[in-house]
A and B are shown apart, each in its own frame.
Chain A
Amino acid sequence: QQQVKQSPQSLIVQKGGIPIINCAYENTAFDYFPWYQQFPGKGPALLIAIRPDVSEKKEGRFTISFNKSAKQFSLHIMDSQPGDSATYFCAVNSGGSNYKLTFGKGTLLTVNP
């Protein structure tokens, strides 16, 4: 059973657009929801993370929206730039205090100039 479903698989936007990437999860016990950004040939890097006691978190141009009742969370990138072109992964903490992350399959974002 896939614990976290990420969509879309790929996304193309124009510079200045607001790409939105969505993730849905099954288990209400998950307590930590990070988003990672990965450039080709590099390791993933933490972008932003949220816990279920808040519905939204902003860090610069990146925002997580969290809907606990729907068991969904999404990443919004405001004023997207070509440098934001990367693969984005959502994840859930499926391991309690051990923070065993289960990742979505990723979204390849392309921001055209």
Chain B
Amino acid sequence: NAGVTQTPKFQVLKTGQSMTLQCAQDMNHNSMYWYRQDPGMGLRLIYYSASEGTTDKGEVPNGYNVSRLNKREFSLRLESAAPSQTSVYFCASRATAGEQYFGPGTRLTVT
């Protein structure tokens, strides 16, 4: 039982490049989330998926797209990376009672 897994762990992009961050959970949860964490800012919600086939915007969605591929997988795509998207990205899945379980994160640097 791996919980929530994320790939890659680290990534360096040049401005304008694109990439997809992958997330998978093996806890059979319906809801999944993408957050970004910046120093002194806490975690901020980018997008979430309440169930397979649905996605919705969070607090900071601009510059990102998501895909809920199936119940297990929820990916985050940066179409044209900008330095302002340098951050640590966390995926989470939620149990029925509300607890969110976080992955280990992806550290992204955009130069």
Contacts and interface: CB of A to CB of B under 8 A. Distances in A.
B87 interface: no
Interface string B74-106: 000000000000000010101000111111110
B98 A93 contact: yes
Interface stretch (B11-19, B40-48, B64-72): B40-48
Contacts of B41: 105
B98 A98 contact: no
Interface of B: 4, 31, 33, 40-45, 48, 50, 56, 58-59, 90, 92, 94, 98-105
A99 B31 contact: yes
B100 A101 contact: yes
Secondary structure dominating the interface of B = strand
A98 B50 contact: yes
Given A32-B98, A101-B45, 4 more contacts: A46-B100, A93-B98, A100-B45, A104-B42
Contacts, number: 56
Given A89-B43, A98-B50, A103-B42, A43 B98 contact: no
Nearest to A104: B42
B102 A45 contact: yes
Interface residues of A, number: 23
Interface of A: 6, 32, 34, 36, 41-46, 49, 89, 93, 95, 98-106
Given A43-B104, A98-B48, A100-B58, A34 B42 contact: no
